Amino acid sequence: MNAWLRQLTWRIPEDLSSPADVARYELNRALPGVSISLNQDDNLGDGYSVQRVSSGWQISGGKNGLLYGAYALILKALSGEAVPDDFASAPYYPLRMINCWDNMDGTIERGYSGRSLFFENGCFDYDPARMRELARLLASCGLNVLCINNVNVHEPAQRLLEDLLPEAAALAAIFRPFGIRLMFSVDFSRPLKHGVPTADPFDPAVRAWWRDTAARVYSAIPDLAGFLVKADSEGRPGPFSYGRNHADGANMLAEAVKPFGGWIVWRCFVYNCRQDWRDTKTDRPKAAWEHYAFLDGQFSDNVILQVKYGPFDFQVREPLSPLLLGMNHTNLAMELQLAQEYTGHQIDLFTMIPMWRELFSDLPANRIMSLAAVSNLGRDDNYTGHPLAAVNLYTYGLLAWDPSVDAEKAVTEWARLTYGFAAADEKKLTGLLLSSRRIYEKYTAPLGLCWMVNPHDHYGPNPSGYEYDLWGTYHKADRNAVGIDRTSAGTGYLDQYPPEFRQKYEDPETCPDLYLLFFHRLPYSFRMKDGRTMIQRIYDDHFEGYAETQSLAETLSALPFPEPDRAVILRRAEMQLHDAKEWCDIVNTFFHRLSGVEDAHGRTIYP
Q: Which of 7, 152, 462, 555 binds its own copies (CB under 8 A)?
A: 462
Please state, in angstroms and rounded to a whole number, the distance separating the CA atoms of residues 455 and 465: 6
55 near its own copies, rule: CB under 8 A: no
477 near its own copies, rule: CB under 8 A: yes
User: Judged by CB, which is closer to its own copies: 19, or 461?
Assistant: 461
Give the sign of the dihedral formed by CA 383, CA 384, CA 385, CA 386.
negative
Catalytic pick among 85, 234, 276, 406: 234
Helix residue spans in 420-533 (DSSP H)? 423-443, 499-505, 516-519
131 near its own copies, rule: CB under 8 A: no
User: Judged by CB, which is closer to its own copies: 303, or 482?
Assistant: 482
282 near its own copies, rule: CB under 8 A: no
52 near its own copies, rule: CB under 8 A: no
Q: Which residues contact 150 (CB under 8 A, 6 or more apart)?
A: 100, 101, 102, 103, 108, 109, 157, 185
Q: Tell me which stretch binds its own copies (CB under 8 A): 160-168, 351-359, 544-552, 590-598.
A: 590-598
463 near its own copies, rule: CB under 8 A: yes
User: Judged by CB, which is closer to its own copies: 55, or 525?
Assistant: 525
Q: Which of 37, 328, 464, 488 binds its own copies (CB under 8 A)?
A: 464
Site string for its own copies, 565-584 (x = CB under 8 A): -----------------x--
525 near its own copies, rule: CB under 8 A: no
Please state, in angstroms and rounded to a whole number, the distance separating the CA atoms of residues 22 and 66: 9
From the CB of residue 55, how many other CB atoms can be counted at a distance below 10 Å?
Answer: 10
Please state, in angstroms and rounded to a whole number, the distance separating the CA atoms of residues 511 and 488: 15
Q: How many residues bind its own copies (CB under 8 A)?
A: 25
Bridge partners (DSSP) listed for residue 307: 334
328: exposed, middle or buried (Cβ count in 10 Å: 0-12, 13-18, 19+): exposed
582: exposed, middle or buried (Cβ count in 10 Å: 0-12, 13-18, 19+): middle
Q: Tell me which stretch binds its own copies (CB under 8 A): 207-215, 245-253, 284-292, 457-465.
A: 457-465
62: exposed, middle or buried (Cβ count in 10 Å: 0-12, 13-18, 19+): buried
Beta carbon of residue 483, minimum distance to its own copies (angstroms, whole number): 12
Q: Which of 190, 569, 586, 588 binds its own copies (CB under 8 A)?
A: 586
Catalytic pick among 102, 283, 313, 565: 313
Beta carbon of residue 512, minimum distance to its own copies (angstroms, whole number): 27
Give the sign of the dihedral formed by CA 511, CA 514, CA 519, CA 520.
positive
Mapped onto helix, strand or coil, the DSSP state of residue 291 is: helix
Q: Which of 480, 503, 550, 557 binds its own copies (CB under 8 A)?
A: 480
592 near its own copies, rule: CB under 8 A: yes
Amino acid at 298: Q
Catalytic site residue 582?
no
Catalytic site residue 212?
no
Longest pairwise C-alpha distance within the chain: 75
Amino acid at 5: L
Q: Which of 278, 281, 329, 601 binds its own copies (CB under 8 A)?
A: 278
Which positions touch its own copies (CB under 8 A)?
Answer: 277-278, 280, 461-464, 467-468, 476-480, 582, 585-586, 589, 592-596, 606-607
Catalytic residues, by residue number, are 234, 313, 341
